[in-house]
Amino acid sequence: MFDELIAAHSHLVEVASRIEVDALDGKASARLVGIGDEIRRTGDSLRTVGVGQVERTNGWKGEGAKSISEWLSSETDCPQYEAQSVVVLANQLQHLPVTQAALRNGTLSNAQAVEVARGAIVAPNTETQLLNLAKHATVRDLRDASSRVVAAATDEAERHRQVHKSRYFKSWTDLDGSFNVKGRMTAANGALVMAALKPIQDQIFKVARKSGEHERPEAYAADALMTLCEKASAIHPSESGTKTSRPNAVINIRVDIDALKRGRTEHGEICEIAGVGPIPVATATEYLGEAFLKLLVIDGVDIKTVAHMGRHIPAPLRTAVEERDRVCQVPTCDTTLGLEIDHIKP
C-alpha cells in the first residue's frame, strides 16, 4: 500500500516539476489550479485520517511532543492552530463515516469538512443537509449554517457562559519585531468591537481610495484600531471644550419576534448578529435598551416592511439591502467588506 502511495507521489512530483507554467494561457492555468486543488484535497484527507489513527494508537508519544497537535505541527511543519484544527476534525470524523468518506473521495475540502463536522457532531440528523449544502454553497455560507445548527442544538445561555469564561486577549512581539494580538470572546462582544472599528475603517478606506491608495481591508482595520486607541488616550471632549465626531456604531441583529417575546430560541428560530453569528436572546434584549431600533419584517425571503424609529438611498431601503445582502451580489464577487450599493462591475 505505502509502496503505491510513494511511487504515485514520486511520479506526481516528477510530472509537476516538468510543467512550464509560464507557457500556459489563462484557461490552462485555471485548469492547473483545479488539478492542484484536487491533489491538495487528497493529501489533506490522508493527513487528517492518518493523524486520527496516530492519536488512537498513541503513535505520537515518545517523540518529545506534549500533545498530538504539537507532534503534528512539528512533523508536517504546519502552524499550531492548523494542527489543532486537523486533530479536532480527525476525532469528529470517527463518528461521522459519511462525512469522512466525502473527505476521502475529494467531494469535500478540509475547510468544508470542518464546518460539516462541527454541526453534525452535535446534531447528527443534520449531516446530510450540511453535506448537500456543501455541494453549492461557499465555505462562509456553510459556516453560517453550521453555526445555526450548533446554536439550535445547545443551550444558548450555557454556550454563551462557556465562551465568556474562556475569553482572553493575548499580545506578543514576534521575532521580526512585529506586535501581534489574538483574542477570544463572545460573538456579542466581538460584534461590539467590530461595530466600533467598522465606521472608522470605512472612513480610512474612503480617504485612501480618493488618494489612489489601495491596501488590504485588514490593514485599514489595524489603522482603525490605532485611531480608536489614540482617541481613547486623547483629552476628553469636556476637558478640551470641543466635541469629536465619530460615526455611530451599528449592529444588525436578526431575531424572530416569537423568540424575542419568549426569551429564547426554539425549533430553528434565529437570533444572530449579521455577519458574526448566533447570540442568546437575552443578549439581544440587553441591547434594545440603548439602541436606535430598525424594524425589518420578513415573510420567507421577501422583505415586507422596514421602519426606522442625494447619492444615498433612503435609510429604510439601505437597512433592507444591508440585511438581505451581507455578501456582494455581483456574480463572482464574494466580498464582505467595503460593500458598495452601486457595485455593478465584477
Task: Identify which of 109, 94, 84, 18 has the alpha carbon closest to the alpha carbon of residue 53.
Answer: 94
Cell of 346: 465584477
**Residues 217, 201 contacting (CB under 8 angstroms):** yes
pLDDT higher than threshold 60 for residue 243 = no
What is the three-state SS of 172-189?
EECCCCCEEEEEECCHHH
Q: If you average pLDDT over residues 335-341, what whole number do you get?
A: 67
Q: What is the predicted pLDDT for the residue at 174?
A: 79
Q: What is the C-alpha to C-alpha distance for residues 276 and 256, in angstroms, rounded to an integer?
A: 17
Q: What is the predicted pLDDT for the residue at 311?
A: 47
Name the average pLDDT for the chain. 83
The answer to which of 79-88, 122-131, 218-227, 243-252 has the lowest mean pLDDT is 243-252
Structural domain spans, the chain: 2-154, 186-240, 253-324
Task: Identify which of 55, 44, 163, 35 has the alpha carbon closest to the alpha carbon of residue 112.
Answer: 44
pLDDT higher than threshold 50 for residue 222 = yes
Q: What is the pLDDT of residues 4-27, one digit of tens each?
A: 999 999 999 999 999 999 999 999
List alpha helices for 67-165, DSSP H. Answer: 68-76, 80-93, 97-104, 110-120, 127-134, 139-153, 156-165
Place of cell 460573538: 187
Buried b or exposed e, range 103-130, using 16+ CB within 10 angstroms: bbeeebbbebbbbbbbbbbbbeebbeeb
pLDDT over 70 percentage in the chain: 83
Q: If you average pLDDT over residues 227-233, what whole number do you get?
A: 82
Q: What is the pLDDT of residues 121-159, one digit of tens each?
A: 999 999 999 999 999 999 989 999 998 898 888 787 888
pTM for this entry: 0.59
